[in-house]
């Protein structure tokens, strides 16, 4: 009997026979992840349960990326707690300072996650790794503490929704537009505790970075995971990162609870309006809204492909007066590549502020907080009320193309208009 992608992956990590959605299974995990906000809680729970040592010093990963560099005393103390735990336990994969990147961009390029893996993290956007063909999902800090000690967790096998994207994308339409369109169609709870699994010509054509962008925001539709087949492109990517993986094939005759099809030729650049990711509309419906800030970065769209898209529009132009353009390459390697390609010079000459690899303003942490009444276009993944600062501020989610175009005009703008 054909299995969904999630069922295939979970099956090789459990001794129980997976028979279908709703089944509770105990699963061995390949990687356990936490960051500078969530790891301190996990560490406290780890010791409260009486644990002494992590199950594997190479499979527990700690990334201090949310407040890098430390923004205040409290964040410094949090990182100190994580650092001391990593030193005491002998954790191999501990990252802060010049080694740190936004965790969901950093782990793939380091070859720490890949096809057929089960990855859990104390961060909801752990689902990013589904773009590589991993069953990856976020859990609470207490569940992460248990997994750090024992190397396993339990799952209710999710039902799966098959999302097919047919045809070819038009100019300036990106992976970000695809996932925003999907979320706008099914809503923020449309895939609650389901696995979104993607197929179609567009998905085959997408590069791995685009696939990770889509998987990253599966959680914004309530999904437990967002999954892609692992094809030749995937294996080339993970091989370049030092892994040797095998293909993961999607079977359309598996037990999918629902199938949704989109015609890519009808897709256009979109934005998600405040204050929910499902408030999606074509950019032309809201163009002309005055903005104060643009953020290009995050675990969704801070990769080199995103920076190249932004530079394509920003080259030789100037950011509109009164607009703050903040660009945050997601990892040190992405930063170096952008420097090598001359992208950083383009950004600086356009009038942008370039920051270090950090989550920063995405969660309202630092390096780009909004004041009351301010509006921001961001390539991030959430636009809840107060997400990036004041409760009276507004965040519009978009692709790097729309963000860059809007920075140039000072208003929400369709990239084709610049």
SS3 340: helix
CA 60 to centroid of chain Cα atoms: 19
Common-topology check for domains 5-263 and 270-417:
yes
State percent of the chain over pLDDT 90.
98
Please tell me the predicted confidence (pLDDT) of residue 1.
80
pLDDT at 68 over 90: no
Rounded to 5, what percent of the chain is helix, strand, coil? 40, 20, 40
**Cα 368 to Cα 292: distance, rounded to the nearest angstrom:** 11
Tokens 């193309």, residue? 401
**What digits encode the pLDDT tens for the residues 320-372?**
999 999 999 999 999 999 999 999 999 999 999 999 999 999 999 999 999 99
pLDDT at 416 over 90: yes
Q: Are the beta carbons of 104 and 302 closer than 8 angstroms?
A: no
Q: What band does 74 get if pLDDT is binned at 50, 70 and 90?
A: very high
Q: At 361, give phi and psi (nearest 5°).
A: -75, -20
CA 81 to centroid of chain Cα atoms: 25
Q: pTM of whole model > 0.85?
A: yes
SS3 82: helix
Beta sheet of 93-95, edge-to-edge order = 93-95, 60-63, 31-35, 118-121, 135-138
Domain borders along the chain are 5-263, 270-417
CATH architecture type of domain 270-417: 2-Layer Sandwich (3.30)
Residue range 5-263 in CATH 3.30.499.10: yes
Q: What band does 277 get if pLDDT is binned at 50, 70 and 90?
A: very high
pLDDT at 58 over 90: yes
**Which tokens hold the place of 181?**
């369109």
Q: What is the mean pLDDT of residues 82-100?
A: 97
Please tell me the predicted confidence (pLDDT) of residue 312.
98
Across the chain, mean pLDDT equals 97
């Amino acid at each position: 009997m054909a299995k969904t992608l999630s069922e295939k992956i979970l099956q090789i990590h459990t001794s129980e026979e997976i028979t279908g959605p709703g089944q509770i299974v105990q699963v061995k995990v390949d990687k356990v992840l936490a960051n500078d906000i969530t790891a301190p809680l996990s560490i406290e729970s780890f010791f409260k349960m009486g644990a002494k040592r992590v199950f594997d010093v190479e499979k527990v990963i700690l990334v201090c990326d949310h407040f890098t560099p430390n923004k205040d005393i409290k964040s410094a103390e949090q990182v100190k707690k994580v650092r001391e735990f990593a030193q005491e336990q002998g954790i191999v994969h501990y990252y802060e300072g010049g080694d740190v990147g936004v965790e969901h961009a950093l782990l793939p390029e380091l070859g720490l996650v890949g096809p057929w893996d089960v990855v859990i993290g104390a961060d909801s956007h752990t689902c990013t790794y589904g773009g590589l063909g991993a069953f990856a999902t976020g859990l609470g800090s207490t569940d992460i503490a248990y997994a750090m000690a024992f190397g396993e967790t339990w799952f209710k096998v999710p039902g799966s929704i098959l999302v097919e994207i047919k045809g070819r994308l038009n100019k300036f339409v990106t992976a970000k537009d695809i996932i925003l369109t999907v979320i706008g169609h099914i809503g923020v709870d449309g895939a609650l505790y389901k696995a979104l699994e993607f197929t179609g010509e567009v998905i085959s054509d997408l590069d791995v970075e685009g696939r990770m962008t889509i998987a990253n925001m599966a959680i914004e539709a309530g999904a437990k995971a967002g999954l892609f087949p692992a094809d030749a492109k995937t294996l080339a990517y993970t091989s370049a990162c030092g892994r040797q993986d095998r293909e993961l094939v999607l079977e359309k005759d598996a037990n999918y609870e629902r199938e949704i099809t989109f015609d890519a030729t009808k897709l256009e650049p979109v934005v998600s309006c405040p204050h929910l990711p499902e408030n999606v509309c074509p950019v032309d419906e809201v163009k002309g809204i005055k903005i104060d800030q643009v953020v290009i970065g995050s675990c969704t769209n801070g990769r080199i492909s995103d920076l190249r898209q932004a530079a394509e529009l920003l080259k030789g132009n100037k950011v509109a007066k009164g607009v703050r353009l903040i660009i945050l390459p997601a990892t040190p390697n992405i930063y170096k590549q952008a420097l090598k390609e001359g992208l950083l010079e383009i950004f600086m000459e356009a009038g942008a502020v370039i920051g270090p690899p950090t989550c920063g303003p995405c969660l309202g942490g630092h390096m780009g907080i909004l004041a009351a009444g301010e509006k921001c276009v961001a390539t991030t993944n959430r636009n809840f009320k107060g997400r990036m600062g004041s409760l009276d501020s507004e965040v519009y989610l978009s692709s790097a193309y729309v963000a860059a175009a809007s920075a140039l005009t000072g208003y929400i703008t369709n990239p084709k208009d610049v």
